[in-house]
Every structure is written in C-alpha cells, then in structure tokens.
Amino acid sequence: MEKQNKLAIIPLGGLGEIGKNMTVIRYGDDIVVLDCGLAFPEDEMLGIDLVIPDITYLLENQDKIRAVVITHGHEDHIGSLSYFLKQIDVPVYGTRLAMGIAEVRLKENNVANYTLIPIKPGDELTFGSIQVGFIQGNHSIPDVVGIYFRTPVGTIVHTGDFKIDYTPVDGKVIDLPKFAQLGNEGVLVLMSDSTNAERPGFTKSERTVGAVLDEAFNGAKGRILLATFASNVLRVQQAINSACKNGRKVAIIGRSMINVINIARELEYLLVPEGTIIDIDEIKNYPDNQILILTTGSQGEPMSALTRMALSDHRKVAITPSDTIIISATPIPGNEKSVSKTIDALLRLGAEVIHERSMGIHVSGHASQEELKLMLTLVRPQFLIPVHGEHRMLITHGKLAQDLGIPKENIFIGTNGQVFEFEQGVDGVTGKLAGKVTAGKVFVDGLGVGDVGNIVLRDRQMLSQDGVLIVVVTMDKGSGGIVAGPDLVSRGFVYVRESGSLMGEAKQQVKQALDKCEAGQVTEWAAIKTSIRDALGKFIYEKTRRRPIILPIIMEV
C-alpha cells in the first residue's frame, strides 16, 4: 500500500461493530480521514466510559493527513475528535451543525487547538491528489452529508448514515441526482450504510411521526413528557410543533437535550416561536394540559432524567397518573431491558406510556433494503464495501448487492484495520484485500485513555462476580515469625456480619498455611503468598462455591 499509484481504503472503526466510525482514504502521500467517532462500552467493559479507535496507523502517518471530513454530528461519528485532535493537528471539515456540536465537546474536553471548517452540501475541496465532495443526505439528525473522493485511481462514494426521505421535515431531500451523476461518471467503490440491511421495504419518512405526535398530543389530558435522542433535532422540531398547535409550553430537561437544542436554535436548525420554551421551574405556573417536557432517557440510561423520574428520584419532576409519556425512539441493541424497566416503572406510577411498539411514534434514520437497492442502482459501483453495522448486516447488504448484479468477488466484507487496495491495471482497476494495519479499541475510563486494558478488565470482571478477600500479615524481618495478623478483610464477597464463623474458619486456614510454611522453612514471600492463596481459595470454594480474588499482603517489620 506504500506504492504511489495505489488507492487504499482502511476502516479503523465501524466495520462489523456498532460505533466508533473512522475510515482512512489514502492515495500516495495523501490521507483524508472520514469521521472520528466513539462507541459506548459493552456490558463486559466494566467501568469503561467510552471506546475510541486505535489510531496507531494515523500517528505513524501523521505527516500525510490532509484533513478529517465528517458526515454528521452523531457521537459515533464525531465523538473521538477530542482525543484525536489532542494528538494530531489537522483541520476538520463538516456541516455547520456537526461542527457546532463538535465544538461543544472539544471545549468540554479542554482541547485548546482545533480548526473546524464548516462546509455545505455541494462543496468540493482538494487535498493533494484527493478531491472531496459533499452530498446532501437524510438521517435522524439534520445537516448530514454523504462524501465522495475523486482520486487518480477512481471515485469512492461514502453514503454516510443515510435514509431516503422524500418529505423531510426541513425540506432538504437527499441529493439522489448527485449520486446518480457520480454513478454516470463512473464510481469505483461504494461504501454504504448497512444498519438496516436486514429490514425489508422502505424506511418511513420522519414527517409521518409528526401526525402520530399530533394525535397523541390531542389525546393527552395532563402533561406530556417526550423522550427522544437529543440530536434528533427534527423530531424535537415536530414535538415542539405539536406542542404549539396544542397550546403547550415546552420545558427541557437533560444536559445533552439542552445543549443540542441550544446549538440547533443558534444555528437555526430548530425554529421555536418566541415564548414557547419555559424553564423547568416554571411548569408549576401552568395547567398540566399546557405543558410539554422534552427529556433525555429514551434508552433507559441509568442517570438520565426519564429514568430518574421513573424511579421517583428526579429533583424537578414527579410523575403523576395524569401524565402521558411518549418514548419516541427504539432501544439500541443492548438497551432493551433498561428501556423495558423504565416503561414498567412509569406505568407503576400510573402514567400513560406510549412507546415504540405502538406503531409510528418513531422511525429509523437508516435505509432499509429497498433504499439500499436504489442507492446501488444509482451509483452502480464496480466494488461495494458495506459499512456501518454488525458483521451479519454487512453480509446481508452484500447479498442484496449480488442480487443486483455486483459480482461476489467485488463485494468486500472486512473488519477494522483491513486494507482494501485498488490499482489501475491494463484491463481497468483491480481491487484486493492487502493486509492489515493496527486497529482496535482504546478504552477511556475517567481521565485515562488506554490505561485500562484486558488485565484490569479481567480483574474487574472477577471482582464483580465474587468480590475480594484480603489477607494481611505482619512478619518479623529477621525470624520470619508472625508479629500481627493474619487479618481478613473482604468486599463484595459475603455479608461479613452474618458470616462470622466462615471468616473465623478462613483465618484458621491462613494460620495453618503459615504454620506449614514456617515448619517447612519457606521464607520466600512469593511462596508464602501462594500458600495462603491456595489454602484459602480451596477452603472458600468448598464452603461457598465462590472464587473471590484473594490478595495476600505481607508487611515486614
């Protein structure tokens, strides 16, 4: 891939997984990076706050990076910028809204130096040998673009996250003619969103939600609380529209909801009539049927406003039986249970809850099968790289493309770090898998980036299952005799006050192990520790069938 006349596409994230989208486009000495996202931790990543892509490859090739280009302002596409820009100083290009949201994050993370450059759909920029263009798209956030890259080997089209919405709320229909024009000119590679590749049919227009909201608002007798993704600005717009028609004031709860609404209003992506928005503390000044509360928590996140309300633990809002709660979102895979619990808790408080199963209160932001086929038909690429989705979705997307006549060998299903290489040959351009570069997950835990790895996670996993049992002994430096202890301290193992005899017996086991060491003239600390660990571990397992982490600590005086 080092050769000058080769084009390389290297996804560093987002392939065969959800989140942390990042793709490297390289031709010769020019690199453009598409998106710079984060992922949220999976269940087994205990204590981890965020997951970002491993950018070793980019650090090694810093001098070649000309730009980062951003498709839209979702966290899984911009969320790593703070970490990236602290290490690599390059300009970032994206739509005004995406740049607005990114800037808030950069400031929050104390990133001092950054260059964010707003672009508009239709703009074209040149970075060395790579010409980059932006195409209007549709998605669950406004101001979203697909991006194409013209290179000496051929044109790459990346759809970004997209759906086809003929009647978008902001009137900005995805620029299908532009995709068609690129197709007519000839496209080498299409990289296309696979999230909904398993869904037959056509994703509904965002506008259809508006009518459903109107109906729900008309039916509500008390307050309405509506939870959705903060970034779904056009959903928020429709909720505010319904509130206005219904004579309701709008109060906003939840940090991310407040942030995004502020940016969106400032940049005029969200249009709110004067006097509509009130402070949450003012809601008591209005009758219940004149109130809409917009809130975060559509995913049942433990600390979110809606979850706190469901647990009667919110400082400002107490749910009552006359409230109608609308959850205008689908649970992201993995969140089903927490969403379900939130709904149950709200119902127990007597509230009416309108959620996803009740049809039409939410639509997806991703293209279903018929839209994917339409995109393939307009762009007619020589090669397809399905992106953005779990592995099985990429495969399904690939099968759809085969049905449309793209040869199987021209469909590349890859994993992160895979180098897809394209080269001009005698009979046209050939493409192949050409090795891998470093790629993977870097864990962010508090202020630590990458300092929690598999060893720490394995310990957390063990601690979470059966806790920890600490044995402390103070020994004489000269004689090796016990001066104090052994003392046993545990956390997360058993409730000690009710397990006095077990802990007493355990202490005896440690004493016996120490006596044995003394008798056998074992004086090496490591060996003594192993004896304690083995004897105690065996005893505890026999008595309880648990395996706490056993930590022997020897103090020397």
Active-site residue numbers?
A: 193, 366
By beta-carbon proximity to a second copy, the closer residue of 107 and 491 is 491
Q: Assess contact for 52 and 38: CB atoms under 8 A.
A: yes
CA 217: distance to chain centroid?
31
Q: Binding site for substrate: residue ranges?
A: 362-366
Location of structure tokens 């090795």: 435
Rounded Cα–Cα distance for residues 532 and 158 (Å): 59
Phi and psi at residue 542, to the nearest 5°: -65, -40
Q: Shortest gap between Cβ of 81 and a second copy (angstroms)? A: 19
By beta-carbon proximity to a second copy, the closer residue of 202 and 286 is 202
By beta-carbon proximity to a second copy, the closer residue of 125 and 549 is 549
DSSP, collapsed to helix, strand or coil, labels residue 520 as coil
Q: Shortest gap between Cβ of 478 and a second copy (angstroms)? A: 14
Is the link from the previous residue into 118 a cis peptide, with omega within 30 of 0?
A: no
Q: Shortest gap between Cβ of 341 and a second copy (angstroms)? A: 8
User: Burial, 281: exposed, middle or buried (Cβ in 10 Å; 0-12, 13-18, 19+)?
Assistant: exposed
* Nearest one of 75, 69, 360 to 204, comparing CA atoms: 360
Q: Assess contact for 77 and 18: CB atoms under 8 A.
A: no
Q: Shortest gap between Cβ of 382 and a second copy (angstroms)? A: 24
Rounded Cα–Cα distance for residues 230 and 269 (Å): 13
Alpha helices in 28-74 (DSSP H): 56-60
Buried-state track 302-337, b at ≥16 Cβ within 10 A, e below 16: eebbbbbbbeeebeebebeeebbbbbbbbbeeebee
Rounded Cα–Cα distance for residues 526 and 89 (Å): 48
Q: Shortest gap between Cβ of 444 and a second copy (angstroms)? A: 10
Q: Shortest gap between Cβ of 180 and a second copy (angstroms)? A: 31
* Nearest one of 33, 34, 31, 27 to 2, comparing CA atoms: 27
DSSP β-bridge partners for residue 191: 158, 385
Rounded Cα–Cα distance for residues 48 and 446 (Å): 8
Rounded Cα–Cα distance for residues 473 and 202 (Å): 68
Q: Shortest gap between Cβ of 25 and a second copy (angstroms)? A: 25
Rounded Cα–Cα distance for residues 353 and 347 (Å): 7
By beta-carbon proximity to a second copy, the closer residue of 78 and 494 is 494
Q: Assess contact for 149 and 33: CB atoms under 8 A.
A: no
Rounded Cα–Cα distance for residues 79 and 39 (Å): 8
Q: Binding site: residue ranges?
A: 362-366
By beta-carbon proximity to a second copy, the closer residue of 117 and 484 is 484
By beta-carbon proximity to a second copy, the closer residue of 324 and 382 is 324
3-state SS, one letter per residue, for 149-162 = EECCCCEEEECCCC
By beta-carbon proximity to a second copy, the closer residue of 184 and 464 is 464
CB atoms within 10 A of CB 550: 22
Q: Shortest gap between Cβ of 461 and a second copy (angstroms)? A: 8
Q: Shortest gap between Cβ of 294 and a second copy (angstroms)? A: 23
By beta-carbon proximity to a second copy, the closer residue of 37 and 414 is 414
Torsion of CA 483, 484, 485, 490, to 10 degrees: -130
Residues forming contacts to a second copy in the complex (CB under 8 A) are 16, 42-43, 46-47, 198, 333-334, 336-337, 340, 343-344, 347-348, 353, 357, 390-392, 395, 415, 445-448, 451-453, 455-457, 459-468, 470, 472, 474, 483-485, 487, 489, 491-495, 498-499, 543-546, 549, 551, 553, 555-557
Alpha helices in 246-390 (DSSP H): 255-266, 305-310, 336-348, 369-379
By beta-carbon proximity to a second copy, the closer residue of 318 and 347 is 347
Q: Assess contact for 337 and 302: CB atoms under 8 A.
A: no
Rounded Cα–Cα distance for residues 21 and 537 (Å): 44
Rounded Cα–Cα distance for residues 108 and 292 (Å): 29
